Structure 1
Amino acid sequence: MPYEFLDDGVTSDVTFHAWGGSLEELFAAAADATLNVMVRSVESVRSLESRSVSVEADELDLLLKRFLDELIYRKDVEELLLRATEVHVDAADHRVQAVLVGERIEPERHELVADVKGVTLHDLRVERAETGWHAYVTLDV
């Protein structure tokens, strides 16, 4: 599991650290971490529907925020739980394109944990390290 949850002491927020060998792996891991805040088991979400998304931002950390906000938006508007596949990140142009796969929320089958409202700017960062890429994200729940 290329992410871990951090205890920041704020009960209305959930903070996680995600990582990957590439930006694509990092964005997919952050998407899974966000989904894992919503449902107990990411594996319980079947790949029954797909959506293509493309988002842009001025900075890499804001690109990750907008990407995760897209997952949250789809949950709120379309009632979809989604995972990121086929992720392509253009770091120079601050653009990400991805295919999101998942299914409609079924409370009787999905063990819902929290209703994620959005990604905060608090301590949001994306960093390159010797081992790959790391992100620190705080979700408002």
Structure 2
Amino acid sequence: MERGPGRGHRAVPHTADVRIEAWAPDREGCVAEAVSALVETFADISGAGECAEVTFDVPAGDDGDLLVGVLDEVIFRLETEGVLPVAANVTADPGGGLRVRWPVVAADGAEPVGAVPKAVSLHGLRFGRDEVGWSCAVTLDV
């Protein structure tokens, strides 16, 4: 995966669903970038208004499970609470899981720009260290 330095994310062409890629120097930063990439595939949150903060923990697991757990939480919160994360602050917890804090906005204040993902696909999931830092590629079922 060719990419710029530091942190970043993008959507890449995919036949029927949406595919995102993210990268950062560390694992937690890569997960945070993946959250931003996911949201940007279907919503422009720049004018969505006031923020509240949400904190949650993802239990210990392998790196792929941790990434999927965080991305699944975005979809879950959208479906059950009608909120979207503006950004993500992801840290490792001592037990091997992740602690995620994100400011959220009401989804009905966001501008729709694409199909809303229904699930994170495990097919073609890639997440791990590479020659520059950490990177991931994830397909989102829409």
User: 2:82 pairs with 75, 79, 82, which one?
Assistant: 79
Determine the C-alpha separation between the residues in 2 that align with 1:45 and 1:20. 26
Determine the C-alpha separation between the residues in 2 that align with 1:110 and 1:71. 15
Would the aligned equivalents of 2:54 and 2:103 in 1 still touch at CA under 8 Å? yes
Return the offset for 1:68.
0.5
Equivalence for 2:110: 110
Would the aligned equivalents of 2:60 and 2:98 in 1 still touch at CA under 8 Å? no
State percent identity of aligned pairs: 29
Determine the C-alpha separation between the residues in 1 that align with 2:67 and 2:18. 16
Structure 2 residue 6 is matched with structure 1 residue 5: no
Equivalence for 2:103: 101
Equivalence for 1:66: 69
Which 5+ residue runs of structure 2 have no aligned equivalent? Answer: 1-6
| TM-align CA RMSD | 1.9
Return the offset for 1:44.
3.5
Would the aligned equivalents of 1:16 and 1:136 in 2 still touch at CA under 8 Å? yes
Return the offset for 1:38.
2.2
After TM superposition, what 4+ stretches of structure 1 lie above 2 angstroms from structure 2? 41-47, 83-86
Return the offset for 1:131.
1.0
Equivalence for 2:92: 89
SS of residue matched to 2:110: coil
Structure 2 residue 33 is matched with structure 1 residue 29: yes
User: 1:17 pairs with 9, 21, 27, which one?
Assistant: 21
Describe the shift of the 1:121–1:110 C-alpha distance in structure 2 as closer, same or farther (beyond 3 A): same
Superposed counterparts of 1:130-141, under 5 Å = 130-141=131-142
Structure 2 residue 42 is matched with structure 1 residue 38: yes
Return the offset for 1:57.
4.4
Would the aligned equivalents of 2:10 and 2:20 in 1 still touch at CA under 8 Å? yes
SS of residue matched to 1:124: strand
TM-score w.r.t. structure 1 length?
0.85
Return the offset for 1:48.
1.1
Determine the C-alpha separation between the residues in 2 that align with 1:93 and 1:15. 30
Would the aligned equivalents of 1:3 and 1:19 in 2 still touch at CA under 8 Å? yes
Would the aligned equivalents of 2:27 and 2:128 in 1 still touch at CA under 8 Å? no
Would the aligned equivalents of 2:36 and 2:88 in 1 still touch at CA under 8 Å? no
- CA deviations on 1:80-115 (whole Å, 9 max, x unpaired) are 01134331035x854110112121122xx4211221
SS of residue matched to 2:123: coil
